[in-house]
Chain A
Amino acid sequence: MSGNPTLERIARGNALALCATGSWTARFAPMLERMVADAEKLGGTRPNIFIDASQVSKLDTFGAWLIERLRRSLTQGGVEGEIAGLSANYSSLVDEVRRVKAEPIVETDRVTITGMLEQIGRTVAGVGGTLIGLIDMLGAVLAAAAHVLIRPRGFRLTSTIHHLEQVCWRAVPIVVLITFLIGCIISQQGIFHFRKFGADIFVVDMLGVLVLREIGVLLVAIMVAGRSGSAYTAELGSMKMREEIDALRTMGFDPIEVLILPRMLALVLALPILAFLGAMAALYGGGLVAWLYGGVEPEAFLLRLRDAISIDHFVVGMIKAPVMAAVIGIVACVEGLSVQGSAESLGQHTTSSVVKGIFFVIVMDGLFAIFFASIGM
C-alpha cells in the first residue's frame, strides 16, 4: 500500500543518498514541496549527492517534477545530482518532465495606481470612440435600410415579425402592469399633497401631462432597454463568439441587413405601441386611485383631463418613442458586435448595453424637452 512520502538522508561514505519512499503523488504535493525545499539546501554541502528513487511506491507528474527540481538545484549547487533506482515506467515519466524549462513566468498584470489612472484615461478617451461607433452603426443601418428600399425582396419580413413578437407582444403584460402601478402612485402622491391646498382636482393635470409627455415614454424606453436591448446584445454577442456572424459574411450576406435591420425595425415599431399602451395603463391606474382614494368621480376626471391635455402632449410623447427605440437598438447592436471571445466579455457588453442605452434615452429626453420648449409645443 502506498503511504506518506518521505525523503531520508543516508550517508554512504563520502556520498549522501536522498532516499525517496512512499507515494510521490499530487495528493501529497504540499508535503513533498516542503521536503524538497529542505533538501535543496543541501546543495554544495557534499561533493556527491544522489537521489535514490527505488523505494518510491507511486509516482505521478507532481512527484516526478519535484524529484527533477531537486536534481536540478543540486546540480546547480555544484554536485553531481543523479537520480538512481527508477523503474522503467517511472523513468520515462521523469524524462518527460526533464524537458520542462523552469524559467519563472512573470504575470504581467499588476494593480498599481498608475495602472488605474491609465485605465481611467483610456476609458475617458474611449468615450469619443463610443460615439463614433454609434454614428457608424447608425449610418450602416440607414444604408442597409436604403438598400432594402431599393430592393424590397431583401427585406426580412419573417424575422421582423418574430422580433416584433419578442419585443412588443411579449412585453405588453409587464409594461402595462408597471405603468399602471406608476400611474396609481403618481395619483396617490399628487392627491395626498395637493389636498393640503384644496387642489385635489389638479392631480388630473399633473397626471395627464406627466404620463403623456414624459413618464409614459421614458419609463417604457427604460424597460425596453433592460428587456430587449440586453437580449439583442446577448444574441448578437454569442453569435459573434461562435463565428456565426463571420459565417454570414462569407456567404455573401450583410449581417447588418440580415440581423440588425429587422431588430431595429421591430424595436422602432414596438416602442410607440408600448408607450401608448403604457400611457393608457398609467392614466387608468391614476384615474382609479383618484376615484377610490381621492374621491374624484370618473366623469369629473375625464372632463378635467380633456381640459388639461391637448393633442400636443400626446404627439410629443409619440414623436420621442421611435427615436428612443433607435438609440436603444443602435447601442445594443454596437455592444453586441464588440463582444470578444470570452463569457466575461459577453457579460460586460450586455451590462454596458443596458447602462448606455438608459443613459442615452435620458439624454435624448432632455434634448427633446429643450427642443419642444423652444418650438412652443
Chain B
Amino acid sequence: MAGEISDAIIRVRDITVQFGKTRVLDGLNLDVKRGEILGFVGPSGAGKSVLTRTIIGLVPKIAGSIEVFGVDLDAASAAERRGVERRWGILFQQGALFSSLTVRQNIQFPVREYLKVSQRLLDEIMVAKLGMVGLRPEVADRYPSELSGGMIKRVALARALALDPELVFLDEPTSGLDPIGAGDFDELVRTLQRTLGLTVFMVTHDLDSLYTACDRIAVLGNGKIIAAGSIADMQASQHPWLRQYFHGKRARAVMG
C-alpha cells in the first residue's frame, strides 16, 4: 500500500466550517488511531454530526485538511476517493436505508456494486450480516417502512458493515434502542472491533456506550475539541460542561 503507514487513520487539521454567519467548527484538530473506538460527545447542536459529515465529505469546509487512511481527501483523485469510500462504512442517525429496496437489497447493494460475486454468496453474506447485528433472516424481504426504529438501526449497521470496512462512522447508534438492545449493540461494536480490527468513530450521548465500548473520548465544544482522553481523564477534568456531563445524575446512575 502506498504512503507511510501512520498510526492515525483519520487526521483532521484546522478545519473550519461555517453556515452563513455561524461558525460551527473553528480550527478543529482531531486524530483517530487505528483500531480504537473513539466516542465523540458534546452538547446538542455543538456540531458533532457536522464534523462527521465534514470528514465524510458531505459538508464543505472553508479551511483545513482531512486525511483518511493517509489519503488527503481534497487532493485525492476520483479513483482514490472511491478507494477510501470502499473502505469505510457509515451509519446515519436516521438509518438512511433506501426506502424502495428491501432489507436484503439494502445490505447487498454496496457488495453488488463493488464485488463480482454470485447471488448465493450475496445472500449468505447478507444473512451473516443480519445475524451479526442480531436480526433474523426472516426480515430480509421487508421494506424499511415495515421495520421498527431499532431494526432500522440494525439493518443500517449491517449495510455499513456489508463490505467489511476498516473504519465505521456511527452517528448516535444506540439512540432509540432499548437498554438491552443498546447494550448488545455496544457489545457488537466491541466484538467487531476485536475480530475485524475495526476503527470506530462513534457520535453518542449514551453514557453506557462511553463506559463500556469506547477506548477514548473526545469532547466537542465551541467549535474545537475541548478534551480528549480516557474515561478517567474525562472524570478528572475540571471543565464545567464535562463535570456536569460525567458527574450528573445519569452519570452517577451508570457508575452505580
Interfacial residues, chain A to chain B (CB-CB below 8 A): 25-27, 29-30, 33, 60-62, 65-66, 69, 89-90, 92-93, 96-97, 99-105, 107-108, 241, 340-345
Contact A60 B196, beta carbon cutoff 8 Å: yes
Which chain B positions have C-beta within 8 A of A69?
A: 124
| A352, B145: Cα distance in complex, Å | 21
| A66, B128: Cα distance in complex, Å | 11
Contact A341 B127, beta carbon cutoff 8 Å: no
Contact bitstring B101-131, A, C-beta under 8 A = 1, else 0: 0001000000100111110110111011101
Partner among B99, B114, B137, B191 whose Cβ is within 8 Å of the Cβ of A101: B137
Counted as pairs of residues, one from A and one from B, with CB atoms less than 8 Å apart, the total is 89
Task: For residue A135, give the distance in angstroms from its CB to the closest CB of chain B.
Answer: 28
The yes or no answer to B164 lying at the interface (CB within 8 A) is yes
Given A108-B141, A342-B145, the answer on whether A65 and B128 have CB atoms closer than 8 Å is yes
| A102, B124: Cα distance in complex, Å | 6
> Which residues in window 138-160 of B have CB below 8 A to A?
140-141, 143-146
Interface-central residue, A62, A93, A344, by most chain B CB under 10 Å: A62
Contact A342 B144, beta carbon cutoff 8 Å: yes
Contact bitstring B88-110, A, C-beta under 8 A = 1, else 0: 00000000001110001000000
Given A92-B194, A96-B132, the answer on whether A104 and B120 have CB atoms closer than 8 Å is yes
Residue of B nearest to A26 (CB): B164
Which chain A positions have C-beta within 8 A of B115?
A: 26-27, 29-30
Partner among A30, A100, A341, A344 whose Cβ is within 8 Å of the Cβ of B131: A100
The yes or no answer to B163 lying at the interface (CB within 8 A) is yes
The yes or no answer to B22 lying at the interface (CB within 8 A) is no
Contact B127 A102, beta carbon cutoff 8 Å: yes
**A96-B132, A105-B141 given; 7 more Cβ-contact pairs under 8 Å:** A26-B115, A60-B164, A89-B197, A92-B191, A92-B195, A100-B128, A102-B124
Partner among A25, A33, A90, A96 whose Cβ is within 8 Å of the Cβ of B164: A25
Interfacial residues, chain B to chain A (CB-CB below 8 A): 98-100, 104, 111, 114-118, 120-121, 123-125, 127-129, 131-132, 137, 140-141, 143-146, 161, 163-164, 191, 194-197
Which chain A positions have C-beta within 8 A of B145?
A: 241, 340-342
Contact A62 B99, beta carbon cutoff 8 Å: no
5 interchain pairs, CB-CB under 8 A? A26-B163, A101-B127, A105-B137, A107-B141, A108-B141
| A290, B67: Cα distance in complex, Å | 69
Task: For residue A38, give the distance in angstroms from its CB to the closest CB of chain B.
Answer: 14
Partner among A26, A29, A102, A342 whose Cβ is within 8 Å of the Cβ of B100: A342
Residue of B nearest to A341 (CB): B145
Contact A343 B128, beta carbon cutoff 8 Å: no
Given A89-B194, A341-B145, the answer on whether A62 and B125 have CB atoms closer than 8 Å is yes
Which chain B positions have C-beta within 8 A of A105?
A: 104, 123, 127, 137, 140-141
Which chain B positions have C-beta within 8 A of A102?
A: 124, 127
Given A30-B117, A33-B118, A97-B128, the answer on whether A104 and B123 have CB atoms closer than 8 Å is yes
Interface-central residue, B117, B121, B129, by most chain A CB under 10 Å: B121
Contact A100 B99, beta carbon cutoff 8 Å: no
Which chain B positions have C-beta within 8 A of A101?
A: 127, 137
Which chain A positions have C-beta within 8 A of B118?
A: 33
Given A29-B121, A65-B125, A105-B137, the answer on whether A341 and B191 have CB atoms closer than 8 Å is no
Interface-central residue, B99, B116, B118, B128, by most chain A CB under 10 Å: B128
Which chain B positions have C-beta within 8 A of A92?
A: 191, 194-195
Task: For residue A340, give the distance in angstroms from its CB to the closest CB of chain B.
Answer: 6
Residue of A nearest to B127 (CB): A100
| A65, B132: Cα distance in complex, Å | 12
Task: For residue B107, give the distance in angstroms from its CB to the closest CB of chain A.
Answer: 12
Contact A61 B100, beta carbon cutoff 8 Å: no
Contact A61 B125, beta carbon cutoff 8 Å: yes
7 closest pairs, A vs B, by CB? A341-B145, A344-B100, A60-B164, A342-B99, A93-B195, A342-B100, A100-B128
Task: For residue A69, give the distance in angstroms from its CB to the closest CB of chain B.
Answer: 7
Given A29-B117, A340-B145, A341-B99, the answer on whether A61 and B137 have CB atoms closer than 8 Å is no
Partner among B99, B131, B164, B195 whose Cβ is within 8 Å of the Cβ of A89: B195
